Amino acid sequence: MRLWCAAIFLAVCSIGAADRSDAPSVVTPIVCAPVAQSATGMGSTENVNGGDLNIFHPVSPPAYEIRELAWLVFGISAVIFVVVEGVLVWSIIRFRSRDEEAGTPAGEPVQVFGSNPVELAWTIIPCIIVFVLSLATVRTIREVELEAPPAGALEVDVIGHQWWWEFQLAGAESDTRVVTANELVVPVGRPIWLTLRSADVIHSWWVPRLAGKTDVIPNHVNHTWFQAESIGTYLGQCAEYCGTQHANMLLRVRVVTGDEFIAWQVAQSRPPVDSASGVAGKALFLQLACMNCHAIDGVSTGSFGPNLTHLMSRETIGAGVAPLNPKTLRMWVDDPQNLKEGCNMPSLKLDSAQLDAVVAYLLTLK
Ligand code: HEC
Ligand SMILES: [Cu+2]
C-alpha cells in the first residue's frame, strides 16, 4: 500500500514538473490565482485597479482556450489529490498502532522489495499523465499562437518600458499615428494583433481575460492577439519581473463600440489645442527637461517617457499607480518618486507657482 502511495506521489510530482514549461516567446497558459491587486499604499489615492483578473472569466478566444486547458489540468490534479489523500487517510486509520501491538515486532508491516509490477506501475502511470498533459498543452499553444494577423485585424505596436507600456496604432488618417501609454482603446469584436517589443529589459504582456502571457523581449519581436467579445475595461499586468516598479506596471484595455473607437482615434490623432490657461505652463515645459523625455504633438519630441499629447484622456497616471486627476497630477510632477518610488522620472524640484503652471498646462492636454 505504501508503494502505491509513493507511485501516486511520483505522478503528482511529475505533473508539477510538466506544468513549469515557460520557454520565452511562446504564449504560456498560466494556471494560478488572479494576480494580487497592487495597492499604492497612498492614503490620498484610492486603488483604481480593483477589477477582474480571473483567467476563468475569459472574453476572448485565446483566453477561452487557456481556460479549457486550465480546467483539464485542474481536473486531473484534483483526481490525483483525492486518490492520494484518500489512500493516506485510509492508511492512517487502517494501520494505526493498536494497544495490543505496541512495542512488539509483530506490529511491523510486511516488507516488500523490488516488486516488478509496482515499479512498472509507478513508471508508466506518470508517463501517461505527463504525455496527456503535454499533448493538450501543445495543442492549446498551437491554437492560441497565430503566424500572421487574423483577417481584418487592428494592428497595435506595444513597447514595454521600465515601468510603463507604450501603444502605437494607426491614426484616423492614413499618415497619422496614435501614440499613447498604459491604456489601449480597441473596438469590440475585432481581432487585435499585437507586435511586442521592449525598450529595455524583458517584460511580459498579460491581460488574463483576453489572452495568455507573451514575453516582451529586447531585440526580439513577439506577437500575440485577442478579440474582445464584450465592452468593458480589462486589466492587465506586466508578468515578468522587470525591476523595482514591476508591480506597478499595470495596463488596461478599454473595449468600446466601433463608433466610439473611431471617435477616440480621431481625437487622439489631433494635435492638442492651445488654451490661455496653459500658456505659462507650456513655456515652462519647454524650458525644463520635460521636453527631452516627453513628446507632445507639435511641442516636443522626447521619447523616453510616455507621450503626453492626450494625457487627460487616460484614467490613471504612472501605469495604474493612481487615478489621474489634478491632485495626483500635481503630486506626480512635484515628485514622481512619492507615488512610484524608483521610477525613471526625476523630481525637477519646481516651486509651487511653477507646479501650478505646469499642471494647468497638462490639464489642457485632453
Ligand atoms: C528623465 C526623463 C523625464 C523627465 C525630465 C520628465 N519625465 Fe515625466 N516621465 C518620465 C518617465 C520615464 C515616466 C513614466 C514613469 C512610469 O510610469 O514609470 C514619466 C511620466 C510622466 C507623467 C505620467 C504620464 C502617464 O501617462 O502616466 C507625466 C504627467 C509626466 N511625466 C510629466 C512630466 C513633466 C511635466 C515633466 C517636467 C516637469 C517631466 N515629466 C519630466 C520621464 C521624464
Ligand atoms: Cu515589466
pLDDT at 310: 95
User: Rounded to the nearest whole angstrom, what is the distance from the C-alpha of residue 350 to the centroid of ligand 1?
Assistant: 14
Residues 284 and 339 grouped into a single domain: yes
Cα 57 → chain centroid: 15
Same-domain pairing of 116 and 242 = no
Residue 183 burial class via C-beta count within 10 angstroms: exposed 0-12, middle 13-18, buried 19 and up: buried
Write down which residue in 121, 144, 167 finishes a domain. Answer: 144
At 118 the pLDDT is 86
Structural domain contains residue 103: no
Please check whether residues 136 and 242 belong to one and the same domain.
Answer: no
Cβ-contact 299, 285 below 8 angstroms = yes
Number of domains in the chain: 3
Note whether 8 and 129 are same-domain residues.
Answer: yes
pLDDT at residue number 13: 42
Domain match, 172 and 223 both: yes
C-alpha cell of 188? Answer: 469590440
DSSP letter string over 279-346? Answer: HHHHHHHHHSTHHHH-EETTTEE--SS---TTGGG-SEETTTTEE-SHHHHHHHHH-HHHHSTT-S--
Whether 285 is in a domain gets the answer: yes
Ligand 1 pocket residue status of 294, Cβ below 6 Å:
yes
What confidence score (pLDDT) does residue 48 get?
Answer: 62
Cβ–ligand 1 contact at 264 (below 6 Å): no
Kindly state whether residues 115 and 166 are assigned to the same domain: no
First and final C-alpha spacing in the chain: 71
Per-residue pLDDT, 340: 96
Q: Is the CB of 345 inside a 6 Å radius of any atom of ligand 1?
A: yes
Other CB atoms within a 10 A radius of the CB of residue 250 amount to 25
Is 105 inside any structural domain? Answer: no
User: What ligand 1 atom has the least distance to the C-alpha of 162?
Assistant: 18
* CB-based contact 70:140 (threshold 8 Å): no
Indicate which CATH number applies to the domain containing 346. Answer: 2.60.40.420
* Residues 308, 239 share a domain: no
The answer to whether residues 209 and 296 belong to one domain is no
What is the β-pairing status of strands 222-226 and 214-216? Answer: unpaired
Structure confidence by residue, pLDDT tens digits, 111-170: 778 888 889 998 999 999 999 999 999 999 999 999 999 999 999 999 999 999 999 999
Q: Which of 252, 269, 286 is the last residue of a domain?
A: 269
Do 309 and 284 reside in the same domain of the chain?
yes
Ligand 1 neighbourhood includes 212 CB (under 6 angstroms): no
Both 13 and 121 in a single domain? yes
Residue 102 lies in a domain: no
- Confirm or reject: Cβ of 295 under 6 Å from ligand 1: no
Q: Is 4 exposed, middle or buried (0-12, 13-18, 19+ CB in 10 A)?
A: middle
Residue 250 lies in a domain: yes
Mean pLDDT of 44-54: 63
CA atoms within 13 A on the CB side of 127: 6
The predicted model scores a pTM of 0.82
Q: Is the pLDDT of residue 97 over 80?
A: no
111 Cα to the center of ligand 2, angstroms:
55
Report whether pLDDT(245) > 80: yes
Q: Does 124 map to a domain?
A: yes
Q: CB within 8 A of 199, min separation 6: which ones?
A: 159, 160, 161, 162, 166, 218
Query: Would residue 323 count as lying in a domain?
Result: yes
Question: At residue 86, does pLDDT exceed 60?
Answer: yes
333 lines ligand 1 (CB under 6 A): yes
Lookup: cell for 255: 473595449
- Please determine, for residue 34, whether its predicted confidence score (pLDDT) is greater than 90: no
Cβ of residue 226 lying under 6 Å from some atom of ligand 1? no
350 CA distance to ligand 2 centroid (A)?
29
- What's the CATH code of the domain at 55? 1.10.287
In single-letter form, the type of residue at position 103 comes to G
Task: Give yes or no: residues 255 and 294 share one domain.
Answer: no
CA distance 245 to 280: 32
pLDDT at residue 52 in the model: 85
What is the model's pLDDT at position 106? 58
- Looking at the structure, tell me whether residues 181 and 214 fall in a common domain: yes
Q: Is 39 inside any structural domain?
A: no
| Residue of the CA atom closest to atom 34 of ligand 1 | 290
Averaged pLDDT of the chain: 86
Among 269, 290, 313, the domain-final residue is 269
Residue 51 in this model has a pLDDT that exceeds 80: no
Domain that holds residue 238: 154-269
Checking DSSP bridges between strand 232-237 and strand 222-226, what pairing results, if any?
unpaired
